[in-house]
């Protein structure tokens, strides 16, 4: 069952093509999406495109009702969590402001019982026009959520505000609006990404961790209301109010953890920290003078174990990537490192992949999650953490 049901309204504008990518992202992230298009929108992109992406009939006509009583414009919004208008043209913002209901999309917006969000898209001069700004001001007073617009080069060649928000950022705004704030007032410290231990100035020992699971947990925790500090080795797309600290190797990551762990409520170690490092780093670049090279390796510091055995009163969560005996090995790791919870996965089912299949393990239970993308897995993991923290409280 999808986590949320939304109506995606598409109005006439060159940015209508971006709505196709937004539809794909929404469905990928477990949304049930019903597309409603204005007649103008269908001149920019065909309803058939969205039918293929959403797997549902695209609704366009106020007079062609699928409702048994002919009241689809009223019934449509009853079972949905949010209406998103993307792109929202200047004309449609004016309709919303003044309560016009001359097509299916404007009618269901007027008859809605759920919240509405708009992603404006128009020429910069249309956006800054006093009439548009009056409409925007009134809509905000009416509780309409605005996502953007962004500034940049426009289809007409002008440069300024009016571009529709980037689809990935828009997805985050939608997720943030719909996500229950079950981690509100909680401080979470997260480590993420595969570290690298340098051999010389250009080569290093690392692993295949993409950092995507850590990024998903950080962004989702932020949308759940937590104050998030992320220590990561990867440059990725993070929510802007996450405190991001970059640490490339085990030593710098450990120092950053020590510096920021005080007063945190939760520590989640998602990072794939290198277990070994060269005993000595060579200066410059090693030349390929011979066929063989011998490296002496020494263990790196075990960050998770150090935190687990410390006296910090913090809820500790680790990750275990195993090649065999998944549950048994994960339980041993959880006990050895004094963790409250561990998330385990088989390497071939998660590492460097877009989807993942994990098990959430505590001292008494094993919860096997179905295979899903990492955003959905992150939601499930954080819900389990919140449940345990609230239960303990």
Kindly state whether residue 289 falls inside one of the protein's structural domains.
no
When the pLDDT of each residue in the chain is averaged and rounded to a whole number, the result is 90
Kindly state whether residue 225 falls inside one of the protein's structural domains.
yes
Q: Are residues 169 and 193 in the same domain?
A: no
Q: Are residues 104 and 243 in the same domain?
A: no
Question: Which of 158, 178, 198 delimits the end of a domain?
Answer: 178
In this predicted model, what pLDDT tens digit does every residue of 289-326 receive, in sequence order? 766 788 899 999 999 999 988 877 899 999 999 889 99
The residue that leads in pLDDT, 152 or 328, is: 328
Domain that holds residue 135: 4-178
Q: Do 218 and 227 meet the contact criterion of CB atoms below 8 Å apart?
A: no
Q: Are residues 152 and 193 in the same domain?
A: no
Q: Are residues 235 and 328 in the same domain?
A: yes
Q: Residue 128, Cα to own-chain centre: how many angstroms?
A: 31
Q: Are residues 103 and 121 in the same domain?
A: yes
In this predicted model, what pLDDT tens digit does every residue of 133-154 receive, in sequence order? 999 999 999 999 999 898 877 7
Q: What is the CATH number of the domain that holds 154?
A: 3.40.50.1950
Active site annotation includes 156: yes
Catalytic residue among 109, 114, 147, 156: 156
Q: What is the rounded CA–CA span in Å between residue 246 and residue 256?
A: 9
Tokens read off for 194: 């595969």
Q: Are residues 64 and 138 in the same domain?
A: yes
Q: Are residues 21 and 41 in the same domain?
A: yes
**Exposure string (b/e) for 245-274, b if CB count within 10 Å is 16 or more?**
bebbbbeebbebbeebbeebbbbbbbbbbb
pLDDT band at 24 (very low <50, low <70, confident <90, very high): very high
Task: Please give the tally of structural domains in the chain.
Answer: 2
Q: Are residues 140 and 214 in the same domain?
A: no
Q: Are residues 105 and 225 in the same domain?
A: no
pLDDT band at 69 (very low <50, low <70, confident <90, very high): very low
Q: What is the CATH number of the domain that holds 274?
A: 3.40.50.10300
Kindly state whether residue 230 falls inside one of the protein's structural domains.
yes
Q: What is the rounded CA–CA span in Å between residue 358 and residue 215?
A: 16
């Amino acid at each position: 069952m999808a986590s949320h049901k939304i109506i995606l309204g598409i109005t006439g504008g060159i940015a209508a093509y971006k709505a196709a990518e937004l539809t794909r992202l929404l469905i990928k992230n477990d949304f049930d999406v019903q597309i409603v298009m204005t007649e103008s929108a269908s001149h920019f992109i065909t309803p058939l495109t969205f039918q293929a992406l959403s797997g549902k009939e695209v609704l366009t006509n106020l007079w062609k009702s699928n409702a048994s009583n002919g009241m689809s414009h009223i019934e449509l919004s009853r079972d949905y969590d949010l209406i998103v208008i993307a792109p929202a043209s200047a004309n449609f913002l004016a309709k919303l402001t003044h309560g016009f209901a001359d097509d299916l999309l404007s009618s269901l917006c007027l008859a809605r019982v759920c919240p509405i969000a708009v992603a404006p898209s128009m020429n910069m001069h249309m956006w800054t026009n006093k009439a548009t700004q009056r409409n925007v001001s009134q809509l905000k007073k009416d509780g309409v959520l605005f996502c953007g617009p962004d500034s940049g080069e426009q289809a007409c060649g002008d440069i300024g505000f009016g571009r529709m928000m980037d689809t990935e950022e828009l997805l985050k705004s939608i997720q943030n609006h719909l996500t229950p704030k079950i981690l509100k007032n909680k401080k979470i410290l997260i480590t993420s990404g595969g570290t690298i231990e340098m051999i010389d100035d250009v080569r290093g020992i690392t692993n295949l961790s993409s950092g995507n699971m850590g990024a998903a947990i950080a962004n989702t925790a932020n949308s759940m209301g937590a104050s998030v500090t992320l220590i990561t080795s990867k440059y990725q797309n993070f929510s802007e109010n996450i405190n991001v600290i970059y640490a490339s190797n085990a030593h710098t990551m450990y120092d950053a953890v020590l510096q920021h762990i005080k007063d945190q409520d939760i520590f989640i170690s998602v990072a794939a920290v290198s277990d070994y490092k060269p005993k000595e780093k060579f200066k410059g670049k090693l030349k390929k003078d011979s066929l063989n090279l011998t490296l002496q390796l020494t263990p790196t510091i075990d960050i998770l174990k150090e935190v687990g055995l410390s006296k910090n009163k913090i809820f500790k969560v680790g990750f275990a990537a195993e090649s065999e005996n998944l549950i048994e090995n994960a339980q041993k790791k959880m006990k050895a490192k004094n963790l409250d919870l561990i998330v385990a996965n088989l390497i071939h089912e998660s590492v460097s992949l877009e989807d993942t299949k994990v098990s959430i393990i505590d001292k008494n239970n094993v919860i096997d999650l179905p295979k899903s993308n990492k955003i959905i897995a992150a939601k499930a993991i954080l819900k389990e953490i919140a449940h345990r923290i609230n239960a303990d409280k």
